[in-house]
Amino acid sequence: MSVVPLSRPVPVTTEPRPTRHLLIGLAVGFVALFLFAPLVTVFAEALRQGWVASVQALASPDARSAIRLTLIVAAITVPLNAVFGIAAAWAITKFDFRGKAFLITLIDLPFSVSPVVAGLALILLVGANSSFGAWLAANDLKIVFAFPGIVLATMFVTFPFVARELIPVMVEQGRAEEEAALTLGASGWRSFFTVTLPNIRWALLYGVLLCNARAMGEFGAVAVVSGKIRGETTTMPIMIEMLYNEYLSVAAFSLAAVLALLALLTLLLKSLLEWRHADLLAATRRH
């Protein structure tokens, strides 16, 4: 019996090993250079003068008020956007109505409008130079350069997050389970709370997570409307800019490190959701 020497089989649905290694190396290098390096820098710069300096910077009254303001803004905008997202997904996926496609486009609008333009538009609507703004000022209602303006600007930029996540999930789930609940005698609200909400809870959490990360980190839109009054209208990102421009690098990076930790936590929770509940999320099968 003669032995025919086999040549190494050429892979059919993948690349040869050296190519694979090259591509993996390129990808990992790219990620390391463009993603990990800046992230590491944040923490390195924050700790440049040791823990104590960093913690002291965070404990200053201005920093604390910035942290508090950021938390309050997120606590208001995120629930509002969650309600909006649920309402939008409910109307869009459970009913057939005129102008649906146009409505979806409108919901997506904030994704493609510059945050600075959003802030500008808000100032033109309610700033002191507009007639509506003059009326508000006459009635002692301050929106621009005050807390309500920051909330509105943050809502603009975070507006599509929850709806975008929920709509595909609810399209996939269809209407049959809600209809079944109704035929069994459940009221509309009951069927919503006992059937719809449990079915979308993970997707909702996912959307809220992304919405929250953006709400706490928004810079451009808030910078325009905040007026940057220290201790009053400075959110964490605005405070970072002010400190950085004053060459208070450690203080700026310490605040930045807090936000970076929040970002890492967001990514961790998001990944957990994706691994455990991939079948119930839209993001993991978007195409």
Partner 1 sequence: MRAGILRSPSPLPGFGLSFGIIMAILSIVVLLPIGALLGRGLMIGPADLWSMVNSRRIWSALALSFRAALVASLFNLVFGLLLAWVLVRYRFWGRRFIDAAVDLPFALPTAVAGIALTALYAPNGPFGQALAPLGIRVAYTEAGIWVALVFIGLPFVVRTVQPVIEQLEPDLEEASATLGARRPYTLRRVVLPTLTPALLTGFALCLARSVGEYGSVIFIAGNIPNVTEIAPLLIVIRLEEYNYDAAAAIGIAMLLISFAMLLAINAIQVWSRRRIGLV
Partner 2 sequence: MNIEIEELAKEFGTERALYPVSISIPSGALIALLGPSGSGKTTLLRILAGLEFPTSGRVLFGGQDATGLSVQERRAGFVFQHYALFKHMTVFENVAYGLRARPRKERPTEAEIARRVNRLLDLIQLPDIGGRYPNQLSGGQRQRVALARALAIEPRMLLLDEPFGALDAKVRKELRQGLREIHDRTGLTTVFVTHDQDEAMEIADLVVFMSKGHIEQMSVMPPAGKARAVPVAPR
Chain residues 180-219 in contact with partner 2, contact rule CB under 8 A: 180-187, 190, 194-195, 198-199
Q: Does 101 bind partner 2 (CB under 8 A)?
A: no
Q: Does 202 bind partner 1 (CB under 8 A)?
A: no
Instruction: Give the gyration radius of the chain's Cα atoms.
Output: 25
Q: Does 20 bind partner 2 (CB under 8 A)?
A: no
DSSP class of residue 11? P
Q: Does 238 bind partner 2 (CB under 8 A)?
A: no
Q: Does 176 bind partner 2 (CB under 8 A)?
A: yes
Residue with smaller CB distance to partner 2, 228 or 277: 277
Residue 165: name the closest of 13, 40, 274 by CA.
274
Q: Is 58 exposed, middle or buried (0-12, 13-18, 19+ CB in 10 A)?
A: middle
Integer CA distances (angstroms), 205 to 159, 162, 271, in order? 15, 9, 12
Choices 54-62, 79-87, 134-142, 197-205 (CB under 8 A): range interacting with partner 1: 79-87
Choices 87-95, 134-142, 179-187, 216-224 (CB under 8 A): range interacting with partner 2: 179-187
Q: Does 106 bind partner 1 (CB under 8 A)?
A: yes
Distance CA 78, CA 189 (A): 22
**What does 184 interact with, of partner 1, partner 2, none (CB < 5 to 8 A by kind)?**
partner 2
Residue 171 beta carbon to partner 2: minimum distance, rounded to whole angstroms? 16
Calculate ∠ Cα 160-223-38, nearest 5°: 80
Residue with smaller CB distance to partner 2, 25 or 198: 198
Site for partner 1 in 120-179 (CB under 8 A): 120-125, 127, 129-130, 152, 155-156, 159, 175, 178-179
Backbone angles phi and psi of 114, in degrees to 5: -60, 135
Residue with smaller CB distance to partner 2, 3 or 184: 184
Site for partner 1 in 48-77 (CB under 8 A): none
Distance CA 249, CA 258 (A): 14
**What does 198 interact with, of partner 2, partner 1, none (CB < 5 to 8 A by kind)?**
partner 2
Residue 107 beta carbon to partner 2: minimum distance, rounded to whole angstroms? 25
DSSP 3-state assignment of 231? coil
Residue 263 beta carbon to partner 1: minimum distance, rounded to whole angstroms? 4
Distance CA 226, CA 65 (A): 14
Contact by Cβ (8 Å): 222, 237: yes
Which H or E element spans position 258?
helix 249-276
Q: How many residues does the chain have?
A: 287
Residue with smaller CB distance to partner 1, 12 or 138: 12
Q: Interface with partner 2 by CB under 8 A: which residues?
A: 176-177, 179-187, 190, 194-195, 198-199
